[in-house]
Chain A
Amino acid sequence: NAGVTQTPKFQVLKTGQSMTLQCAQDMNHNSMYWYRQDPGMGLRLIYYSASEGTTDKGEVPNGYNVSRLNKREFSLRLESAAPSQTSVYFCASRPGGLATARGELFFGEGSRLTVL
């Protein structure tokens, strides 16, 4: 009964280093999302993938890249980390598509990233 699994849960990087946050869901959902959560800013959408093979920019995509590897997996990559990317990152999924656009998001437990 895993749902949405994110790895790693915690990570400390130095400025300029790169890393990839991994996300996998086992609910056969079409749509997947990456958000970042910062105090006073709520959750801001970084990238999303409405279905396998497609990705779109959200509100704050600069400095990030994503890959929808297959229907289950949606990774977020920081090519050159900056202190401004210190945040808690959440991956989420939902059924998506025209027939199930009403579905709520199912969230992972979050990944706390610190960039020094």
Chain B
Amino acid sequence: AQSVTQPDIHITVSEGASLELRCNYSYGATPYLFWYVQSPGQGLQLLLKYFSGDTLVQGIKGFEAEFKRSQSSFNLRKPSVHWSDAAEYFCAVGATSGTYKYIFGTGTRLKVLA
């Protein structure tokens, strides 16, 4: 069965500091991996996705993520955080066959200090 773990519930960083949000997954094969962002009262917006090939993927708003098969991880990074990045971030794993189930982690809430 597929599952996603986001070990950090809350993270606080100062504006301009670097950011890394952790995501670990469980799946029998190489899954499709996604990061979404949710601002308060809003729906979810896709930041980036990984299917195959280059393990470092670039997304919108200056975010990137690295797929590490040996660690079953797909961590999200940003070199310099802006105050507008304060939001909740969700990692998700999509099944690559069968009925294409799509599972989310519990989310990491990011607070940015001015």
Binding site for B on A (CB under 8 A): 31, 33, 35, 40-45, 48, 50, 54, 56, 58-59, 90, 92, 94, 96-98, 101-102, 104-105, 107-110
In the complex, the answer to whether B34 meets A104 with C-beta atoms within 8 Å is yes
Of all chain B residues, the one with the shortest Cβ separation from A105 is B102
In the complex, the answer to whether B99 meets A105 with C-beta atoms within 8 Å is no
Q: Hey, which chain A residues are within 8 Å of B106, CB to CB?
A: 40-42
Residues of B in contact with A, size category: 20 to 34
Cβ-Cβ contact count across A and B, 8 Å cutoff: 64
In the complex, the answer to whether A48 meets B99 with C-beta atoms within 8 Å is yes
The digit string for B90-105, where 1 denotes a CB below 8 A from any CB of A, is: 1010111101111111
In the complex, the answer to whether B49 meets A102 with C-beta atoms within 8 Å is yes
Binding site for A on B (CB under 8 A): 6, 9, 32, 34, 36, 42-44, 46, 49, 51, 90, 92, 94-97, 99-107
Picked from B9, B32, B43, the residue with its CB within 8 Å of the CB of A102 is B32
Q: Hey, which chain B residues are within 8 Å of A98, CB to CB?
A: 97
Q: Hey, which chain A residues are within 8 Å of B6, CB to CB?
A: 42
A51 to chain B: closest CB distance in Å? Answer: 9
In the complex, the answer to whether B101 meets A107 with C-beta atoms within 8 Å is no
Q: Given contacts A104-B34, A107-B44, A110-B43, are A43 and B100 in contact (CB under 8 A)?
A: no
How far, in whole Å, are A53 and B100 apart by their CA atoms in the complex?
15
In the complex, the answer to whether A90 meets B104 with C-beta atoms within 8 Å is no
